[in-house]
Amino acid sequence: MISEIESILAAGQSKKMAATVVDIILQDENRIDELMQCFFSDHLRTCQHAAWPVGIIAEKHPLILLPYLPRMVSNLDEPKHDAVVRNTLRTFQFMEIPEELQSDVYDRCLEYLSNPKYPIAFTAFGMTVCADIAMQYPELKEEVIAAIEYRMPHGSSGIRARGAKERHRLQTV
Protein backbone atom coordinates (compact mmCIF):
# COMPACT_ATOMS: atom_id res chain seq x y z
CA MET A 1 0.00 0.00 0.00
CA ILE A 2 1.37 3.38 -0.98
CA SER A 3 1.51 5.98 1.79
CA GLU A 4 0.16 9.50 1.44
CA ILE A 5 3.69 10.89 1.52
CA GLU A 6 4.88 8.47 -1.15
CA SER A 7 2.00 9.48 -3.42
CA ILE A 8 2.86 13.17 -2.94
CA LEU A 9 6.49 12.43 -3.80
CA ALA A 10 5.42 10.46 -6.88
CA ALA A 11 3.63 13.54 -8.26
CA GLY A 12 7.00 15.07 -9.12
CA GLN A 13 9.78 17.19 -7.73
CA SER A 14 8.75 20.73 -6.88
CA LYS A 15 9.04 23.29 -4.14
CA LYS A 16 5.35 22.84 -3.42
CA MET A 17 5.79 19.07 -3.06
CA ALA A 18 8.66 19.51 -0.62
CA ALA A 19 6.73 22.09 1.42
CA THR A 20 3.63 19.86 1.55
CA VAL A 21 5.63 16.88 2.82
CA VAL A 22 7.45 19.01 5.39
CA ASP A 23 4.13 20.44 6.62
CA ILE A 24 2.70 16.93 7.05
CA ILE A 25 5.71 15.85 9.10
CA LEU A 26 5.78 18.98 11.24
CA GLN A 27 2.07 18.62 12.01
CA ASP A 28 2.57 14.99 13.07
CA GLU A 29 6.19 14.07 13.78
CA ASN A 30 5.19 10.39 14.03
CA ARG A 31 4.85 10.42 10.24
CA ILE A 32 8.57 10.93 9.76
CA ASP A 33 8.91 7.17 9.30
CA GLU A 34 6.81 7.36 6.12
CA LEU A 35 9.20 9.92 4.66
CA MET A 36 12.29 8.03 5.77
CA GLN A 37 11.02 4.81 4.19
CA CYS A 38 10.85 6.77 0.94
CA PHE A 39 14.30 8.27 1.54
CA PHE A 40 15.78 4.77 1.94
CA SER A 41 13.76 3.34 -0.95
CA ASP A 42 15.41 1.35 -3.72
CA HIS A 43 13.29 3.28 -6.22
CA LEU A 44 15.45 6.02 -7.72
CA ARG A 45 12.79 8.75 -8.06
CA THR A 46 11.23 8.03 -4.68
CA CYS A 47 14.48 8.45 -2.76
CA GLN A 48 15.47 11.45 -4.89
CA HIS A 49 12.19 13.24 -4.25
CA ALA A 50 12.25 12.37 -0.53
CA ALA A 51 15.76 13.82 -0.12
CA TRP A 52 14.69 17.46 -0.43
CA PRO A 53 12.08 17.37 2.36
CA VAL A 54 14.54 15.47 4.56
CA GLY A 55 17.08 18.28 4.09
CA ILE A 56 14.47 20.91 4.96
CA ILE A 57 13.34 19.04 8.06
CA ALA A 58 16.96 18.74 9.18
CA GLU A 59 17.32 22.49 9.07
CA LYS A 60 14.07 23.19 10.92
CA HIS A 61 13.85 20.27 13.38
CA PRO A 62 17.00 18.13 13.24
CA LEU A 63 16.17 16.06 16.32
CA ILE A 64 13.32 14.37 14.44
CA LEU A 65 15.94 12.67 12.28
CA LEU A 66 18.21 11.52 15.10
CA PRO A 67 16.89 7.92 15.18
CA TYR A 68 17.65 7.60 11.46
CA LEU A 69 21.26 8.80 11.58
CA PRO A 70 22.93 5.36 11.71
CA ARG A 71 21.02 4.24 8.63
CA MET A 72 21.66 7.56 6.89
CA VAL A 73 25.40 7.06 7.43
CA SER A 74 25.37 3.48 6.14
CA ASN A 75 23.16 4.56 3.22
CA LEU A 76 26.10 6.63 1.96
CA ASP A 77 27.82 3.35 1.00
CA GLU A 78 25.47 2.78 -1.93
CA PRO A 79 23.24 5.80 -2.44
CA LYS A 80 20.64 5.53 -5.16
CA HIS A 81 20.99 9.19 -6.18
CA ASP A 82 23.32 12.15 -5.55
CA ALA A 83 20.36 13.96 -3.96
CA VAL A 84 20.42 11.40 -1.15
CA VAL A 85 24.11 12.07 -0.43
CA ARG A 86 23.71 15.83 -0.78
CA ASN A 87 20.77 16.01 1.63
CA THR A 88 22.31 13.52 4.05
CA LEU A 89 25.40 15.73 4.30
CA ARG A 90 23.19 18.81 4.53
CA THR A 91 21.37 17.10 7.39
CA PHE A 92 24.62 16.41 9.22
CA GLN A 93 25.40 20.15 9.21
CA PHE A 94 22.38 20.86 11.40
CA MET A 95 22.86 18.07 13.91
CA GLU A 96 25.17 17.20 16.69
CA ILE A 97 26.47 13.88 15.44
CA PRO A 98 26.38 11.24 18.21
CA GLU A 99 29.85 10.25 19.39
CA GLU A 100 29.48 6.66 18.15
CA LEU A 101 28.95 7.92 14.58
CA GLN A 102 31.44 10.79 14.52
CA SER A 103 34.44 8.82 13.27
CA ASP A 104 32.53 7.28 10.37
CA VAL A 105 30.86 10.58 9.45
CA TYR A 106 34.16 12.47 9.71
CA ASP A 107 36.00 9.97 7.48
CA ARG A 108 33.30 10.07 4.83
CA CYS A 109 33.04 13.86 4.87
CA LEU A 110 36.82 14.25 4.72
CA GLU A 111 36.79 12.08 1.59
CA TYR A 112 34.08 14.28 0.03
CA LEU A 113 36.11 17.35 0.94
CA SER A 114 39.47 16.01 -0.21
CA ASN A 115 38.55 14.33 -3.46
CA PRO A 116 37.78 16.65 -6.38
CA LYS A 117 35.73 13.95 -8.16
CA TYR A 118 32.76 14.71 -5.90
CA PRO A 119 30.13 17.37 -6.65
CA ILE A 120 30.57 20.84 -5.15
CA ALA A 121 27.69 20.39 -2.70
CA PHE A 122 29.31 17.24 -1.26
CA THR A 123 32.53 19.21 -0.77
CA ALA A 124 30.85 22.22 0.81
CA PHE A 125 28.66 20.24 3.21
CA GLY A 126 31.50 17.82 3.98
CA MET A 127 33.72 20.78 4.84
CA THR A 128 31.26 22.11 7.40
CA VAL A 129 30.61 18.70 8.95
CA CYS A 130 34.35 18.00 9.27
CA ALA A 131 34.89 21.42 10.84
CA ASP A 132 32.01 20.83 13.28
CA ILE A 133 33.55 17.55 14.41
CA ALA A 134 37.06 19.01 14.52
CA MET A 135 35.79 21.75 16.84
CA GLN A 136 35.17 18.96 19.37
CA TYR A 137 38.51 17.25 18.71
CA PRO A 138 41.24 19.89 18.34
CA GLU A 139 43.74 17.30 17.10
CA LEU A 140 41.70 17.11 13.86
CA LYS A 141 41.74 20.84 13.13
CA GLU A 142 45.01 20.89 11.17
CA GLU A 143 43.88 17.97 9.01
CA VAL A 144 40.64 19.73 8.13
CA ILE A 145 42.40 23.04 7.49
CA ALA A 146 44.87 21.28 5.17
CA ALA A 147 42.01 19.63 3.24
CA ILE A 148 40.20 22.96 2.94
CA GLU A 149 43.33 24.73 1.72
CA TYR A 150 43.92 21.96 -0.80
CA ARG A 151 40.47 22.50 -2.34
CA MET A 152 40.22 26.29 -2.21
CA PRO A 153 42.58 27.40 -5.03
CA HIS A 154 40.70 25.51 -7.74
CA GLY A 155 37.27 25.46 -6.10
CA SER A 156 34.18 27.35 -7.10
CA SER A 157 33.50 30.73 -5.54
CA GLY A 158 31.16 28.96 -3.10
CA ILE A 159 33.88 26.50 -2.07
CA ARG A 160 36.38 29.32 -1.63
CA ALA A 161 33.93 31.35 0.47
CA ARG A 162 32.91 28.43 2.64
CA GLY A 163 36.52 27.30 2.91
CA ALA A 164 37.60 30.72 4.15
CA LYS A 165 34.77 30.76 6.69
CA GLU A 166 35.46 27.25 8.01
CA ARG A 167 39.22 27.75 8.08
CA HIS A 168 38.76 30.98 10.05
CA ARG A 169 36.40 29.23 12.47
CA LEU A 170 38.90 26.41 13.03
CA GLN A 171 41.84 28.79 13.49
CA THR A 172 40.19 31.17 15.94
CA VAL A 173 38.76 28.80 18.49
Instruction: Render pLDDT for 30-71 as a digit per residue (tens, 0 to 9).
Output: 999 999 999 999 999 999 999 999 999 999 999 999 999 999
Is the pLDDT reported for residue 13 higher than 90?
Answer: no
* pLDDT-derived band at 79, boundaries 50, 70, 90: confident
Among candidates 92, 97, 22, which has minimal Cα distance to 52? 22
Residue ranges of domains in the chain: 1-95, 98-173
- Phi and psi at 118, nearest 5°, equal -85, 150
What is the identity of the amino acid at 122? Answer: F
Cα dihedral value 56, 62, 63, 69, nearest 10: 90
Residue 116 CA to residue 124 CA, distance in Å, equals 11
Q: How many CB atoms lie within 10 A of CB 130?
A: 30
Name the strand (E) or helix (H) holding 20. helix 15-27
Among candidates 69, 116, 120, 64, which has minimal Cα distance to 92? 69
44 touches 80 (CB < 8 A): yes
39 contact partners, CB below 8 Å, separation of at least 6? 47, 50, 51, 54, 68, 84
Beta strands in the chain (DSSP E): none
**pTM score:** 0.92
